């Protein structure tokens, strides 16, 4: 506790915000920082590599939506201007912990255990980054935040000793309010009816299921095209080369796009397809639901927990099950029915809900 303040001090590691393009962990970090700032229940400071960073530098980066300036600013420091993060109080990492037992109380955030349970979907360097010091990280943590119940269950199956330390840290979606106005001033997208897939294209995301299903009668009868939004991930070039020509006609790969373009593409879609075989949370599902889009989702890990009744589910390893679920969700009446549920369910994931467990931990 800071003696000058009634509020407990929390120092948040914002190192992920130094990325130029924010997806995944940087977006999570940004949302967490915002949630804690809005909440106001903690005396919040920021750090990068255990060095204190001015709050205005972080909020400027958040407003800019990129870490370019924050990174340049940080890297241009001589070491005289900024000081080491405060050892007193709570040190919170939004992802993997990079300093051990340096503060009075420490917490880190576990996003998923795919490096442990799906090592074949990762490069060894990534596995080492996530797992080599995980036991030490958990042991030196006061609290371990898990971004879903699925992640918590997976974590406890591998590290039962942390049972009493885990807390959930659910994300929220915050599409900028001006996106709606910006979109209204643009001509409509001319893509025809389509469903959208969001996420880095990599084996774990299981896009191959959709490709294999294209030849099923259910999908052949459908007029829908499929827009795939996301940067190319590991092994994607081999994957793309293997695509049959007929698949290319119904697929549109957008590559990495701005948040606004992603918003437009999701908003213009009929529904989101989430074929992933493993997720820590599945934020694209929540992003789509916030725009009233139902989710055709796999029965996997965290996805049912996020999507709830706002989707139709399938076995991610079964083409026939996927095709049947596709038929169900593509029906206009079903879409309309689920759209209402989707919007309502997404509203359950709020910044208050994200900030509360951190404030509770810091104040305990």
Partner 1 sequence: MSLPGSLAEPADVLANPVSLELRSALEILLAEARRRGLPVMCVARPEMFTHGMAEAWFRARVSPLAQHVCLSDGSSVKHLPGLPTHVFFYGLMFRDAVAALRRLSRRAPELMINLGSQVNSCLTLGRAPCRVRPEPVLLSRTTALRVPPPLLLPFFLNRDSAEDSANRVQQAGPVAAESLLGFSRMLYVPLTETALDDGAFGHAVTELILQTFFDPTTLLVLKCPAACQVEPSLTHGIATLLAAVRKSSVMLPRSSPPNILFAASDLEEDHVIFDRFPFCLVVHDSFDFWRHTKGFYARAQEVTVLARQGSATEEFNVAAIYGPNAVRRWVVDPADHG
String marking each residue 230-259 x if it binds partner 1 according to CB under 8 A: ------------------------------
CA distance 242 to 165: 45
Q: Which of 236, 316, 339, 359 binds partner 1 (CB under 8 A)?
A: 316
Residue 142 vs 305, nearer CB to partner 1: 305
String marking each residue 185-214 x if it binds partner 1 according to CB under 8 A: ------------------------------
Q: Which of 118, 335, 344, 356 binds partner 1 (CB under 8 A)?
A: 118
Helical spans, DSSP H, in the chain: 25-39, 55-64, 68-75, 114-117, 124-131, 134-140, 149-158, 177-184, 207-213, 217-221, 236-241, 245-250, 259-267, 283-290, 303-307, 319-330, 332-346, 351-363
In DSSP terms, 9 is beta-bridged to 43
CB of 281 to partner 1, least distance (A): 12
CA distance 352 to 239: 40
String marking each residue 128-147 x if it binds partner 1 according to CB under 8 A: ---xx-xx------------
CB of 27 to partner 1, least distance (A): 23
In DSSP terms, 194 is beta-bridged to 225
Q: Which of 104, 218, 305, 360 binds partner 1 (CB under 8 A)?
A: 305
Q: Which stretch binds partner 1 (CB under 8 A): 49-57, 77-85, 97-105, 298-306?
A: 298-306
Q: Which of 1, 277, 324, 335 binds partner 1 (CB under 8 A)?
A: 277
- With binding defined as CB under 8 A, does residue 313 bind partner 1? yes
Query: What is residue 86's DSSP assignment?
Result: P
Q: What is the 3-state secondary structure (H, E, C) of 297-328?
A: EECCCCHHHHHCCCEEEECCCCHHHHHHHHHH
């Amino acid at each position: 506790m800071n003696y000058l303040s009634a509020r407990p001090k929390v120092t948040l590691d914002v190192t992920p915000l130094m990325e130029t393009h924010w997806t995944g962990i940087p977006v999570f970090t940004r949302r967490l920082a915002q949630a804690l700032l809005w909440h106001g229940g903690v005396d919040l400071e920021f750090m990068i590599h255990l060095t204190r960073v001015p709050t205005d530098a972080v909020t400027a980066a958040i407003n800019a939506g990129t870490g370019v300036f924050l990174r340049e600013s940080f890297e241009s420091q001589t070491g005289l201007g900024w000081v080491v993060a405060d050892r007193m109080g709570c040190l919170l990492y939004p992802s993997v912990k990079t300093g051990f037992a340096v503060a009075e109380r420490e917490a880190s955030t576990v996003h998923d255990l795919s490096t442990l349970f799906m090592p074949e979907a990762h490069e060894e360097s990534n596995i080492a980054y996530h797992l080599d010091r995980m036991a030490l990280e958990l042991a030196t943590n006061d609290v371990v935040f898990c971004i879903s119940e699925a992640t918590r269950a997976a974590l406890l199956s591998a590290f039962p000793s942390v049972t009493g330390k885990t807390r959930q840290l659910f994300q929220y979606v915050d599409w900028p309010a001006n996106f709606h106005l910006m979109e209204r001033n643009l001509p409509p997208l001319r893509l025809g009816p389509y469903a959208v897939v969001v996420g880095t294209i990599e084996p774990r995301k299981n896009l191959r299921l959709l490709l294999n299903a294209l030849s099923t009668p259910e999908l052949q009868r459908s007029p829908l095209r499929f827009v795939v939004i996301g940067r190319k991930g590991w092994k994607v070039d081999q994957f793309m080369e293997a695509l049959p020509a007929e698949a290319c006609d119904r697929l549109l790969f957008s590559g990495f796009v701005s948040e606004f373009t992603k918003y437009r593409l999701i908003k213009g879609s009929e529904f989101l397809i989430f074929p992933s075989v493993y997720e820590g949370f599945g934020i694209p599902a929540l992003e789509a639901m916030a725009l009233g889009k139902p989710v055709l989702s796999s029965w996997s890990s965290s996805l049912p927990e996020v999507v709830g009744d706002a989707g139709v589910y399938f076995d991610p390893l079964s083409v026939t099950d996927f095709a049947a679920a596709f038929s169900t969700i593509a029906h206009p009446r079903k879409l309309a029915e689920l759209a209402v549920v989707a919007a309502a369910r997404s509203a359950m994931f709020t910044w208050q809900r994200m900030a509360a467990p951190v404030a509770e931990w810091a104040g305990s």
